[in-house]
């Protein structure tokens, strides 16, 4: 096939090379952005009298038809045409003839692809921000609806101290606040219009880059043509931010997987969000949470992928960069589908408060507070810690909890211990004493939920 660029070529491209170098199967996804960019470019060329107004309107009409053709599945893809840019330009020529050949004036595919990616990511980041917000709203709902549920808090996956389940949920709210801040911050660097950098050095035509930026809704234009066509920082940043969000989701997934097991039995994931086993009839597996945890690996892989592609590339454009689309698209798909499925799953999750509470009552979660009790009666904390250790050993031997010992038994360890110890060791009191800012007392958590609600609206 004759190609738009093969004037100087004596031989046709090898078929295997065409297949190897083609990116159309992937970058077809950019067609809306590519057409949007081309329309703005054509309008600018006409305004600057580089092409005529008639030519520009022919081009715009043709491009809109092509947009419809691709959208409705009436568009043939061919490896011989390499990428989305060549497909659209070739089709445009078939439709409108010679005016199509003027569209690429003062432009290169190098600045064109940079533009497409930036248009694409600007929209996707806004959608991601919206999804994270919805996800957080559901986290807040769960926290509010279960404000009093007490559960064991863990370190090293060993029971540590009693906490409010709502406090645990609000920890995830905080993570996603930071994630949103990262995405919003990065948006400023995506929101830069590269077109007009041409191949690498700028162009000899009297173009209006600010005008194109305004048409396309960019708030800045790139300041260095060489940087503009070789910069993929904005993609690295996006995938890195997505990786952090996925890692947060994978931690929640891990907790849901553990909590929904018979061993913990703290939550029930709705049947609609679990799947059965083909051999074991009793099983309900938390596959959604497992897959989110697993897909996180793919996003981490995409981050490695993109930074490795860009590492050591000399300026400016290199064909290696064409490989950036696979990690970007895969990351967008995984992040959005994971958030979406979580938004639905969270609405139907059941919290088994009784089981959480019973678990928090066992295994000495009140030991720190027992030590604090002694400390407040004047025992230095290190000594109080050691006495408490002895009490825990003793209670373990007796197969009792600390609060199940009698006052007489306590007196064998310290005669500072009095009747008020029992009130002191109640789980609600343990929790509600933790009033230090950011701690798990009910008042703190209620305040945190209220602030969070104001923050996201």
Tokens of 384: 């109080």
321 binds ligand ARG (CB under 6 A): yes
Q: What sign has the CA pseudo-torsion 6, 11, 12, 14?
A: negative
Instruction: Report how far residue 298's alpha carbon sits from residue 295's, in angstroms, rounded to the nearest whole number.
Output: 5
Q: Collect all residues with Cβ–Cβ distance below 8 Å to 182 and sequence separation of at least 6.
A: 241, 244
190 binds ligand ARG (CB under 6 A): no
Residue 277 falls in the annotated catalytic set? yes
Q: Which of 297, 326, 334 is nearest to 117 (CA)?
A: 326
The 100-139 contact track toward ligand ARG, x by CB under 6 A, reads ---------xx--x--------------------------
Helices (H), 217-324: 225-230, 233-259, 287-310
91 binds ligand ARG (CB under 6 A): no
Give 208's Cβ-side CA count (13 Å radius). Answer: 15
Span from 275-283, 316-324, 367-375, 413-421 in contact with ligand ARG (CB under 6 A): 316-324
195 binds ligand ARG (CB under 6 A): no
Q: Output phi, psi for 294, to 5 deg.
A: -70, -40
Q: What sign has the CA pseudo-torsion 165, 167, 168, 173?
A: positive
Nearest approach in angstroms of CB 116 to ligand ARG is: 8
235 binds ligand ARG (CB under 6 A): no
Q: Which is nearer to ligand ARG, 1 or 407 (CB)?
A: 1
Nearest approach in angstroms of CB 320 to ligand ARG is: 9
Span from 231-239, 295-303, 313-321, 398-406 in contact with ligand ARG (CB under 6 A): 313-321
**Per the residue annotation, which of 72, 74, 156, 278 is the catalytic one?**
156
Nearest approach in angstroms of CB 262 to ligand ARG is: 50
Candidate residues 322, 424, 441, 444; the one interacting with ligand ARG per rule CB under 6 A: 322
Contact positions with ligand ARG (CB under 6 A) in 337-366: none
Residue 337 falls in the annotated catalytic set? no
Crossing angle of helices 109-145 and 442-456, in 10° steps, is: 140
Q: Collect all residues with Cβ–Cβ distance below 8 Å to 85 and sequence separation of at least 6.
A: 34, 109, 112, 113
Q: Which is nearer to ligand ARG, 31 or 173 (CB)?
A: 31
23 binds ligand ARG (CB under 6 A): yes
Q: Which DSSP helix (H) or strand (E) runs through 347?
A: helix 325-347
Residues that contact ligand ARG, how many (by CB under 6 A): 10
* Catalytic sites, residue numbers: 156, 277
What residue ranges bind ligand ARG (CB under 6 A)? 23, 27, 83, 109-110, 113, 317, 319, 321-322
């Amino acid at each position: 096939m004759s190609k738009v660029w093969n004037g100087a070529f004596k031989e046709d491209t090898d078929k295997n090379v065409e297949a190897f170098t083609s990116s159309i199967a992937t970058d077809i996804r950019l067609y809306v952005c590519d057409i949007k960019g081309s329309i703005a470019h054509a309008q600018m060329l006409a305004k600057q009298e580089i092409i005529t107004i008639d030519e520009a309107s022919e081009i715009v009409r043709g491009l809109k038809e092509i947009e419809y053709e691709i959208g409705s599945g009436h568009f043939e893809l061919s490896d011989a045409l390499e990428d989305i840019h060549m497909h659209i330009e070739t089709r445009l020529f078939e439709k409108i003839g010679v005016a199509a050949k003027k569209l690429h004036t003062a432009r290169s595919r190098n600045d064109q692809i940079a533009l497409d990616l930036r248009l694409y990511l600007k929209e996707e980041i806004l959608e991601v921000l919206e999804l994270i917000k919805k996800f957080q709203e559901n986290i807040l709902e769960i926290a509010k609806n279960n404000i009093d549920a007490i559960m064991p808090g863990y370190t090293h996956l060993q029971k540590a101290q009693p906490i409010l389940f709502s406090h645990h949920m609000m920890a995830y709210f905080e993570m996603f606040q930071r994630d949103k801040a990262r995405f919003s911050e990065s948006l400023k660097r995506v929101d830069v219009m590269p077109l007009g950098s041409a191949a690498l050095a700028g162009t000899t035509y009297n173009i209006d880059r600010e005008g194109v930026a305004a048409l396309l809704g960019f708030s800045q234009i790139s300041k260095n043509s060489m940087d503009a066509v070789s910069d993929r920082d904005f993609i690295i940043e996006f995938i890195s931010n997505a990786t952090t969000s996925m890692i947060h989701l994978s931690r929640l997934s891990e907790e849901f997987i553990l909590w929904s097991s018979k061993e913990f039995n703290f939550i029930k994931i709705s049947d609609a969000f679990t799947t059965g086993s083909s051999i074991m009839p009793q099983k309900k597996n938390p596959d959604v949470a497992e897959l989110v945890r697993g897909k996180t690996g793919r996003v981490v892989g995409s981050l490695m992928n993109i930074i490795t592609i860009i590492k050591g590339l000399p300026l400016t454009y290199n064909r290696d960069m064409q490989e950036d689309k696979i990690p970007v698209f895969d990351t967008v798909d995984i992040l959005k589908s994971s958030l979406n499925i979580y938004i639905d799953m969270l609405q139907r999750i059941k919290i088994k408060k009784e089981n959480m509470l019973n678990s928090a009552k066992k295994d000495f979660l009140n030991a720190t507070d027992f030590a604090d009790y002694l400390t407040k009666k004047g025992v230095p904390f290190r000594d109080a810690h050691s006495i408490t250790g002895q009490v825990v050993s003793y209670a373990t031997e007796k197969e009792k909890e600390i609060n199940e010992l009698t006052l007489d038994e306590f007196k064998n360890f310290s005669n500072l211990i009095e009747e008020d110890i029992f009130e002191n060791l109640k789980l609600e009191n343990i929790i509600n004493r933790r009033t230090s800012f950011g701690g798990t007392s009910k008042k703190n958590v209620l305040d945190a939920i209220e602030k969070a609600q104001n923050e996201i609206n």
